[in-house]
Amino acid sequence: MSLWAGEADAIIALVRGAVPEMPALLAGAERGVRHGADLSASEKPHLFIYAPAARIAPLDWLQSEVRTTWEGDLWVDGTQEQAALYLDAIRAALAANRTLTGTVIDCALLSANILEDPNVQLLKVVAMTFETLRHEG
C-alpha cells in the first residue's frame, strides 16, 4: 500500500469514528471522488478523500518535511445543523488523535465549509481540507 493510501485510510478511520452513521466499507467511504448525486440513500453519510498534494521542504541530513493536503467531502442527507454536528464531531476526534493513531506526526483541519444547494433541501456537503505532516529520511 502506498504512503498516501495509508494516510487516506487513516483519515477515513478518523471520520468513521466521529460519524458512526456512515455505512460500512466502501458504502460509506472511499479514496477518490465521485459526484454525490450518484449516491443512494443507503450510502450516506458518505466520505470521499481525494486530491492529495504534497509540499516537500528539504532538511539537514538529507531529510524532508512533507506536508500533504487532502480534500474530504462528507455527503449528508440532513439539515445544516446535522452536517454541522458531524463537523464538530470530526474536529473533536481530530483534536484527540492528531497523529491519526501514529500514521503521521500531525494532522490538522485547515478549512471546512458546509455546501448547500437550494434546489436540494436535504443534501449537504461538509467540504474539508486536511493537512498531514510527516518527516522522511
* Closer Cβ to other proteins, 9 or 65, answer by number: 65
* Closer Cβ to other proteins, 54 or 92, answer by number: 54
The CB density around residue 95, as the number of other CB atoms within 10 Å, is 9
* Closer Cβ to other proteins, 16 or 134, answer by number: 134
How far apart are CB 92 and other proteins at their closest, in Å?
A: 26
- 104-133: contacts with other proteins (CB under 8 A): none
Count the helix, strand and coil residues of the chain and give each as a percent rounded to the nearest 5: 35, 45, 25
In angstroms, the CA 46 to CA 27 distance is: 7
How far apart are CB 63 and other proteins at their closest, in Å?
A: 4
In angstroms, the CA 124 to CA 72 distance is: 13
Tell me 34's DSSP state: -
Dihedral pair phi/psi, residue 102, rounded to 5°: 80, 5
* Closer Cβ to other proteins, 59 or 108, answer by number: 59
What's the gap between Cα 107 and its chain centre? 11
- 31-60: contacts with other proteins (CB under 8 A): 58-60
**101 binds other proteins per the rule CB under 8 A:** no
Q: Of 35, 61, 118, 119, which lies in the binding site for other proteins, with binding defined by CB under 8 A? A: 61
Q: Of 5, 51, 64, 110, which lies in the binding site for other proteins, with binding defined by CB under 8 A? A: 64
In angstroms, the CA 82 to CA 65 distance is: 37
Which residues are at the interface with other proteins (CB under 8 A)?
58-65, 135, 137
